[in-house]
Structures are given as structure tokens and as C-alpha cells.
Chain A
Amino acid sequence: MSLDHKNDAEFHASLIEEVLKAYPDKAQKKRSRHLSVAKPAEAPEEGGEQNLSECAVKSNIKSIPGVMTIRGCAYAGSKGVVWGPVKDMVHISHGPVGCGQYSWAQRRNYYTGTTGVDTFVTMQFTTDFQERDIVFGGDKKLEKVIDEINELFPLANGISIQSECPIGLIGDDIEAVARKKKSETGKTVVPVRCEGFRGVSQSLGHHIANDTIRDWVLDKSEREFEATDYDVTIIGDYNIGGDAWASRRLLEEMGLRVIGSWSGDGTLAELEQAPKAKLNLIHCYRSMNYICRHMEEKHGVPWTEYNLFGPTQIAQSLRHIASYFDDTIKEGAERVIAKYQPLVDAVVGKYKPRLEGKTVMLYVGGLRPRHIVNAYDDLGMEIVGTGYEFAHNDDYQRTGHYVKEGTLIYDDVTGYELEKFIEQIRPNLVGSGIKEKYPVQKMGIPFRQMHSWDYSGPYHGYDGFAVFARDMDLAINNPVWDLFDAPWTKTEPLAVAAE
């Protein structure tokens, strides 16, 4: 099958129709609202940007039971994403053993420090609930656990309590425990009610985690901090494979001072300092816009979105960030862009010929399904389908800035749908998560994990773009994909869309 999928709206619409047939009536009706094909963009409002397309689908709605959603839960959003990377605090997985175990050191949030002594990211602390804790409540145990942490880890600068499902159901008062322990020790203790049954996905966990930073961290510290005119905070970069470091370098090179890294490689102090910034820079809008809005409202710190995936977006973002500052920084941005242009040219020169025209389908979290589109575009690759696990309406609005009309759009896609879409479209590459990796590869389609960078990275910044290009090339252009058919079988060779 070698179809030209560019803007193949009709074909994509027929795929949606086809997958929906498999559902019982009620589920079919519900799912149909989450699947769509990007439509031609309407004319922008006065002064607005011209979108490439309209990608509206229903989103941030409960998953249907029994369909194999790929989503996680609020605990995954709070402990796994927002709080977990804060390196000098101990994060207690409060409840039974499983959640902490499965999310233990799996997100590759790199950090510097001495693990177990002054930093604790790749450790699993849990109250390991037993039946008696469910029956009699876990607050006493939690108190004891906090005492034991303080005893064994004297250099920990704080503690967060990440609630698992039972906590909210058995009526524990973790806030009271947090207040009590804070007054006893003077150390920050943050109670987070991120039980997995709350909300519809990871997304509410992000929001709850943001709210606890607002209520239990900001404006609570007496520490002196000397601000400068060039202070910015990196927000919503979790330093996967070192992303935040590759980003920080560029910001510092253009003359800015990064006073906090939220939350990859971040410390409690860096959370506390953020309201002193001149500008908050948000990379993952979905998971941390809440706290940016709060700091704008309460502390008067403006915030802006940026995107450091691929040279086009990097240059645009550095200039946009610089526009908030004086000429020193504006010149700095131009200097940095010029400095790295030879690297960009060399990377594009080397990899674009090997990747041009290749098609990609994405299914990631709440940001990357749009954020990385231009990085592919910089290498001549085309996004034919994209979707989010836990986006909201404003994410789909923003998706229209990035993808062309005709792109297949799927929200909270089910295992069944994704498999059928990939089978029919047969893109040259799929970018999604660990649960999708192996089914896709067995179909003979190259795959990259775009949550964890498939154990590679960084992908942010100019240093990261080189790694990104290398990885896409090695995924697609590996000879193993040609070995799938035994030579004595009489099947047609695997169809490749781009041939």
C-alpha cells in the first residue's frame, strides 16, 4: 500500500468510521467525539495568529471502561511527573506498595547529587499499607514514617506525601499530619491528595500538585534571595535524559540567569525562588500552566510558552523570550542562534536526506504531540496523525498551530483504535510509549518512545536536536525491519508507505 497520506482527510475519516464499527452503541457514540481529522483553519480573529488547521475534539473526559486506555492516573501526574523530580526532598508514596514500585526511577529525570544522602529521586519511599492501616487509618503510621525519614536522611530539605487511592477513601487527614510535622521540625512537608481515582487522567494530578506548591511552598520561606534583572525560571521541563540542561545552557549563553528548574534537577529552594523571577518560561504547558497563572496573579511574574524542539522552534523561542528583555539579551539570542547554525546545518545536512518524506504518527502525553512536530519538520518528516493522552481543549486549539489539515487526530485513543490506525496508515515511524512500543514494532514499523526518549536524550535545545535526529534515523534506517519475512514464505514484502 503506498498512498500519499499528505492531507488525506478522506482516507483518515474512513479509518475513523471503520474503527468505530467495532464498539457497542454507547461506547461508539462516546468515542466518536474524540476522533477527528484536522480541518482547514478559519480566518484568525483580529490580531490573532493564522492557524494551520482546526483540531477540535472532545477531551479531558472520563475514559470508557474496558477499552484499554493508555492513560495513567492523578498519582502518576503528581508523584511521577511534577513532584518526583524535586531532588532534595523525599517523596513518600503513601499507601500500598505498587504505585511507588512501578514508578520507581522510570522517568529518567536526571539530576546531580548524592542519591540517598542529599538527593532522593531514584529511590522508592513508601508507607507500604497493610490491611490494618486501611482498617485503622494510616495517619499514625505516616507520622512515624516522617520521623524515620528525618532520622535516616538528615540532609533532606523537605518531604512530600503522595496519596494513593486508599488515603482519600478511608478519611485520613494528611494535612493535619503535615502541619504537625512541619511545626515539629521546621522542614517543609507537603500533603498531596493525588489519589488515582481522582479526575480522568494524569492531568488532574498535575493540577493538584501545582496547587500544593502554591499552598505549601510559595511564600513560606524566609530565605534571602538576591534577584537580578535577567532572572527566569524553567518551568515544565522534567530533565528527561538531560533536556533541562541542554535548554539551560542556551538561556545562560544568551545572558539570562536561570534561578529555578521546575522540576527536573530542581530543589525545594528553586521552587521557592520562582516568584522572584522576571519571567517564567513554561515548556510543558499542560502540567504547569496553573502555577504560572498563579504567580502572574499573585506575584506579578509574567509567563510565556516556549518550545526548544528543533532549530525552527528554538530560534523562534529564543527570540520570543528575548523580546521580554533589553538589547543585551536580544543580541545574546541572535548570537546563540548564529553560534549554533553550523551545527544545525551539519545535522540537517547529514540526516535530512535519510529521513525526508518519512511519515510519523504520534501519541504521547499532554504536550509533545504538538511540541515536537516542527523538529520532525526540520528533518523533512511529516506528521500524519497525532493525539494526546490527557490534553484539554486549549491543547487541541494550540495543536492547530502545528499540524496540517487532514492530520488524523485522536484523543485518549484506545489500544484497539491505535493499532487499527497504524495498521492502515503504516507510517514510517510511530512515537508513543512503552506500552505501545512492542505491538507496533511487531507490525514491522519503527518506533521511538517519546515519553522517555527511548533511554536516549536529551532532545531539547541544539545539543538535543542532534541526538533527536540521530535517533530517528537509527530507528527508521535499521536493517532489522527487512528481516521480518522468511524468504521461503510467499507473502508480499511488508508495504512501506513512503515507497
Chain B
Amino acid sequence: MPQSAEKVLDHSLLFREPEYKEMFAKKRADMENMPAAEKVQETADWTKSWEYREKNFARESLSINPAKACQPLGAVFAAAGFEKTLSFVHGSQGCVAYYRSHLSRHFKEPCSAVSSSMTEDAAVFGGLNNMIEGLKNAYALYSPKMIAVSTTCMAEVIGDDLQSFIIGAKEKESVPQGFPVPFAHTPAFVGSHTTGYDNMLRGILEGFWADAEVTKNETINIVPGFDGFAVGNNRELKRILDLMGVEYTILSDVSDQFDTPSDGEFRMYDGGTTLEAAKNAVNAKATISLQQYCSVKTLQYAKSLDQETASFHYPMGVAATDEFLMKVSEITGKEIPEELRMERGRLVDAMADSQATLHGKTYAIYGDPDFVYAMARFVLEFGGEPRHCLATNGTKPWAKKMQALFDSSPFGAECKAYPGNDLWHMRSLLATEPTDFLIGNSHGKFLERDTGVPLIRLTFPIFDRHHHHRFPVWGYQGGLRVLVTLLDKAFDTLDAAGLEPGGDISFDLTR
């Protein structure tokens, strides 16, 4: 028998034992009614062919392994970045369990949010009573300073009106009259999690800014956008802005909320943009978004209040960071300090040291539109080729922007952007036109297994590796982190070849 108390075998080894292998074979032969092994092999090979790729790309309705989630996830994420704010998602309750689990699996942190738990009767009569009772209970139990209301698709389909419901709930004294309950309609059948982030953030800001007296000052607002690396990134961002001596407000800062310490106390709320700061942010001279596609409506709103606006695509690498710093400098009149110039030089130094390893390497990249743009741009900076760039929630204008990026570099000649496609499309791309590396999230591991293209995890969600999000990828320092991650994978791949029997070829001590 394979199992023993001395050396306990769990699933990773137990099922490789002969007893189990034999059992699997017998089950397949006698019970499963599955196709013959040759047929499976033949079909597997066919799924990697050009013919299949064409069929696959001819799909019009079916989505397979998409790289996007739905709006309320982004709404919950955005709300988590404000001081003592509880997300209240109006609609079916299972969704909230999903958002909480999803975010917890990535950050390895608690994620709190409540639902109005609507069921059949609410589907018929509307969810007003759920809102009244729900706000009352949430306020009593969890003592938030703000409750941010978003919606599941159920509430959207039946057409519940959040604004009037919230007014109604306040009339019934669910929460005190002056208590902030900003809201956003976040239908899952429109856009993606990045849309939900935008809608909720705008909703929260409208709650504070709508009737505000504006007295312009010298501060700027920063919108980080939906970002799985927010813990590391936001802290790096603050360090950079502090170095510059800029006065700023980050609008939705989740860096503490999703990184609480272990010291014996569970903090349901931690850190975040204070409500006071969010209120005062109306007076800022500018609002800058670090992810344009996460903040379209938010920036429109800021603009409507006479704020200057600017947006970036996830400032990663040299030129993207340069641009961001220069814009901040231009708006605030603060100079970029020498220290940052040194950091920039160190990143360039590292890239120069390692350029031979990365020059000419090809990449497939997928994720949210801003991330894919940033990653492709950085890859081009060290002489790599971002061949297949895919964003399920990317649009045609995004693809055009990507093409302009490719056109700006000789290394972009063979590159193409795929807006609206999914990871099953990516599988066809990698099977027919393999790249050296794949950059994405944990879902990419299935692509890595099917096509043999090594996966580098650099974007949300990362479920099967721990703590990556604690380190920044933004700015010059973040660029170093990204560079080292890519290099490690490149060297590991190189070494793996030398690990095969009989090979001291390519197994070099110094690289």
C-alpha cells in the first residue's frame, strides 16, 4: 500500500502510485464510455492546428476561458479603498460570496461585503424591503462610516432604482439621514470589472462632490484603477509622490485594506482614502488616472467640475514612468528630484546588464487593456517582441492604440492586438505561432500546460502563487521587479534544458 504515517502522500504523489493508476485505467475501460486513446490524441493534435484556429476564431457567440470578470467585482474593489467603507451589493447573495472569495484568493486576505439577499419574492416585487432591512442590519452590525451600494445583474434586470430605494431606506431610518450611502448601477451584462470600478468610484465621488462648494487648491487626485498589485503599487506611488513633495489624494487606496498585519486582531476595515480627504478632493486642480480604461466616467466627472485630467496606461517600465512623472511635475510645478533620476538610471542599468538575455524574445500577453498596453510597451523597451496581445475586455479603439504602439518600434513589426478575444483563442495562437513566454495570470497555467509556453504571472488574478501583489510593478522600482521576474523565468527555462540527462550543454554556472 502506498500510504504510510512516516511519509504521508497527498494528492500530488498518491495518485501517481501504481495502485491508483491501475484503478484509473480500469475505470476508463469499464465504466466511462470515453473515446479511444487514438481518437483523443488525433483530436488533441487537431485542436492545435491552423484549421482549428480558423474555426476557433470564427466563433461568434461562445466565450471560452474569458479574461474578464463582471462589474460588481470592480465596484467592491473600488469601495474597499475608502475608510471604513462596507460594500453592499443589491441583488442575489451568491454573487457577493463569489466576489469575496475571488479577492481573498488573490490577496490572501479577508474581504468583507454584504448582500441584500434578494430571492424569488424580491424578483417579483422588487427589492425595496431588502434594501431597507439590509442597510439597517449592515449599519448596526458592522459600524461602517460609509456604505457603498452596487448591483448584481438580477437587480438590474428587474430594474430596481437605487437612488429612490436609498432615499426610501433613509426615510425608514435604516441609516441616519446624513450617513453617506453612495451608489452605482453595475450591470454584469455591460463591460467588465473595470467598468464596475469606474462606475462605483464615480458614484462615491458624486456622493461627496455633487453639492460641494469648490475652492480650488494645489492638490492633485490620483485614481489607481483596478489593480491586483495595488498593495505594492499604491505604496510605491505614495513614496514617489512624497519624494516629489506633491500634495495628493489617492481616490480609492486599498493598499492597507488588502494587507492587514497578523498580530491577533482581525481588522475588518483598515486604511483607505479618508472620507474627509475624498470630500476635499473636489478642490483639487487635477485628477490623474493611472488606468484610462478603468476611469472613463470618473475622469469625465472630474472634468465637469473644472479639474484638469490626464490618464495613463498602468505606468510600468522606463518611458511610461517618465511620462507619468513629467505630467505630475507639469501639473504641480514640482520638480522631479535627483533621487528619482538615480532610480531611473538603476533600472536602465539593470536592463543594459541583461539585454542580451531578453533581446528578441517573443511574448504573448493578456489581461486588462491598460496592463496589456503597459506590458507590451515595457517589453519593446528591452528589445522583446509582444507578438500576441489580448484583452477580453479590450475594445477596437484599444486595439488601434496597441497597433500605434507596435508601429512605434521595429520590434513591433510582427505584433498584433486581439480585442474581445478569450484564452481559448490565445491557445490557438500559442499552438500555431508559439512565443517564448506567456505573460498573464493564474488562468494561464492551462495554456502553459497545453502549449508548453512558460507562463509569467504578472496580473490579476494570481491564485496559485503567493504574495506577488505585495511588491510594486509600477515606477522604476517596480520595473526592476518585473525585469527580474522575466529574467528568472528566462534563466530557469534555459537551465531546464541542461537538466536533461547527459547534458552539461547550456548548463552554465555564470550567465
Number of A residues, CB within 8 Å of B: 129
Known: A88-B34, A248-B23, A343-B3. A458 touches B115 (CB 8 A): no
Whether A69 lies near B117 (C-beta < 8 A) is yes
User: What's the least CB distance linking A17 to chain B, in Å?
Assistant: 16
Per the 8 Å Cβ criterion, residues 102-154 of A in contact with B are 102-104, 106, 110, 112-118, 122-131, 133-134, 141, 144-145, 148-149, 151-152, 154
User: What's the least CB distance linking B185 to chain A, in Å?
Assistant: 12
- Surface stretch bound by B, among A8-16, A21-29, A397-405: A21-29
| A166 to B359 CA separation, bound complex (whole angstroms) | 49
The reply to whether the CB of B237 lies closer than 8 angstroms to some CB of chain A is: no
| A88 to B34 CA separation, bound complex (whole angstroms) | 8
Whether B40 lies near A65 (C-beta < 8 A) is no
* Chain B 65-93: CB-based contact to A (< 8 A → 1; otherwise 0): 11011101100000000000000100111
| A168 to B140 CA separation, bound complex (whole angstroms) | 34
Per the 8 Å Cβ criterion, residues 262-319 of A in contact with B are 265, 267-270, 273
Nearest A residue (CB) for B59? A148
Whether A435 lies near B23 (C-beta < 8 A) is no
* Chain A 454-492: CB-based contact to B (< 8 A → 1; otherwise 0): 001110001100110110000000000000111000010
| A444 to B95 CA separation, bound complex (whole angstroms) | 29
User: What's the least CB distance linking A223 to chain B, in Å?
Assistant: 7
Whether B47 lies near A24 (C-beta < 8 A) is no
The reply to whether the CB of A347 lies closer than 8 angstroms to some CB of chain B is: yes
| Chain B residue contacts of A185, Cβ below 8 A | none
Known: A68-B142, A152-B59. A164 touches B137 (CB 8 A): no
| A339 to B1 CA separation, bound complex (whole angstroms) | 9
Per the 8 Å Cβ criterion, residues 181-239 of A in contact with B are 195-200, 202, 223
Whether A197 lies near B110 (C-beta < 8 A) is no
The reply to whether the CB of A392 lies closer than 8 angstroms to some CB of chain B is: no
Whether B8 lies near A467 (C-beta < 8 A) is yes
The reply to whether the CB of A260 lies closer than 8 angstroms to some CB of chain B is: yes
The reply to whether the CB of B432 lies closer than 8 angstroms to some CB of chain A is: no
Whether A245 lies near B66 (C-beta < 8 A) is no
Whether A71 lies near B93 (C-beta < 8 A) is yes
| A350 to B260 CA separation, bound complex (whole angstroms) | 36
Which of A101, A141, A346 is within 8 Å of B61, CB to CB? A141
Whether B97 lies near A72 (C-beta < 8 A) is yes
| Chain B residue contacts of A176, Cβ below 8 A | none
Whether B443 lies near A104 (C-beta < 8 A) is yes
The reply to whether the CB of B353 lies closer than 8 angstroms to some CB of chain A is: no
Nearest A residue (CB) for B420? A128
User: What's the least CB distance linking A197 to chain B, in Å?
Assistant: 5
Which of B24, B52, B68, B94 is within 8 Å of A72, CB to CB? B94
User: What's the least CB distance linking B457 to chain A, in Å?
Assistant: 15
User: What's the least CB distance linking B136 to chain A, in Å?
Assistant: 5
| A437 to B10 CA separation, bound complex (whole angstroms) | 21
- Surface stretch bound by B, among A48-56, A320-328, A412-420: A412-420
Whether B47 lies near A117 (C-beta < 8 A) is yes
| A223 to B153 CA separation, bound complex (whole angstroms) | 41
| Chain A residue contacts of B102, Cβ below 8 A | 101-102
Which of B15, B69, B91, B260 is within 8 Å of A242, CB to CB? B15
Whether B8 lies near A470 (C-beta < 8 A) is yes
Whether B154 lies near A67 (C-beta < 8 A) is no
| A101 to B133 CA separation, bound complex (whole angstroms) | 30
Known: A117-B40, A123-B65, A197-B118. A245 touches B141 (CB 8 A): no
| Chain A residue contacts of B113, Cβ below 8 A | 68
Which of A66, A74, A155 is within 8 Å of B136, CB to CB? A66
* Chain B 152-196: CB-based contact to A (< 8 A → 1; otherwise 0): 111001100000000000000000000000000001111010000
Number of B residues, CB within 8 Å of A: 109
| Chain B residue contacts of A3, Cβ below 8 A | none
Whether B117 lies near A98 (C-beta < 8 A) is no
Whether A27 lies near B97 (C-beta < 8 A) is no
Nearest B residue (CB) for A252? B23
User: What's the least CB distance linking A271 to chain B, in Å?
Assistant: 11
Which of A63, A269, A340, A349 is within 8 Å of B1, CB to CB? A340
| Chain A residue contacts of B63, Cβ below 8 A | 97, 124-128
Whether A249 lies near B69 (C-beta < 8 A) is no
| A133 to B61 CA separation, bound complex (whole angstroms) | 11
Which of B56, B110, B114, B263 is within 8 Å of A438, CB to CB? B110
The reply to whether the CB of A40 lies closer than 8 angstroms to some CB of chain B is: no
Whether A67 lies near B189 (C-beta < 8 A) is no
Whether A349 lies near B140 (C-beta < 8 A) is no
Which of B8, B158, B188 is within 8 Å of A96, CB to CB? B188
The reply to whether the CB of A366 lies closer than 8 angstroms to some CB of chain B is: no
| A87 to B92 CA separation, bound complex (whole angstroms) | 28
| A62 to B119 CA separation, bound complex (whole angstroms) | 8
- Surface stretch bound by A, among B25-33, B199-207, B315-323, B499-507: B25-33
* Chain B 343-378: CB-based contact to A (< 8 A → 1; otherwise 0): 000000000000000000000000000000000000
| Chain B residue contacts of A463, Cβ below 8 A | 2-3, 9, 14
Which of B4, B70, B131 is within 8 Å of A346, CB to CB? B4
The reply to whether the CB of A241 lies closer than 8 angstroms to some CB of chain B is: yes
Whether B133 lies near A27 (C-beta < 8 A) is yes
Whether A415 lies near B112 (C-beta < 8 A) is yes
The reply to whether the CB of A170 lies closer than 8 angstroms to some CB of chain B is: yes
Whether B44 lies near A117 (C-beta < 8 A) is yes
Nearest B residue (CB) for A134? B189
Nearest A residue (CB) for B450? A116
Which of A26, A196, A200 is within 8 Å of B154, CB to CB? A196
* Chain B 96-120: CB-based contact to A (< 8 A → 1; otherwise 0): 0111111011001111111111111
Whether A129 lies near B14 (C-beta < 8 A) is no
Residue among B40, B130, B133, B189 with max Cβ neighbours from chain A (10 Å)? B189
The reply to whether the CB of B467 lies closer than 8 angstroms to some CB of chain A is: no
- Listed by A's residue number, 26 A-B pairs whose Cβ atoms lie within 8 Å are A65-B117, A65-B131, A65-B137, A66-B133, A95-B153, A96-B189, A97-B69, A102-B98, A115-B446, A116-B450, A118-B40, A123-B446, A124-B66, A129-B189, A131-B189, A151-B55, A164-B153, A165-B153, A267-B32, A347-B5, A414-B141, A438-B104, A442-B262, A463-B3, A466-B5, A485-B264
- Residues in chain B within 8 A of chain A (CB atoms): 1-6, 8-11, 14-15, 19-20, 23-24, 27-28, 31-35, 39-40, 43-44, 47, 52, 55-56, 59-66, 68-70, 72-73, 88, 91-95, 97-102, 104-105, 108-120, 122-123, 130-131, 133-142, 152-154, 157-158, 187-190, 192, 260-268, 424, 427, 443, 446, 450
Q: Which 6 A-B pairs have the closest CB atoms?
A: A73-B94, A98-B70, A65-B134, A66-B134, A269-B33, A346-B5
Given A97-B66, A434-B105, 13 other A-B residues pairs in contact with their CB atoms under 8 A: A65-B130, A66-B114, A76-B98, A115-B446, A123-B64, A124-B66, A166-B189, A196-B152, A197-B123, A241-B11, A265-B27, A467-B10, A484-B263
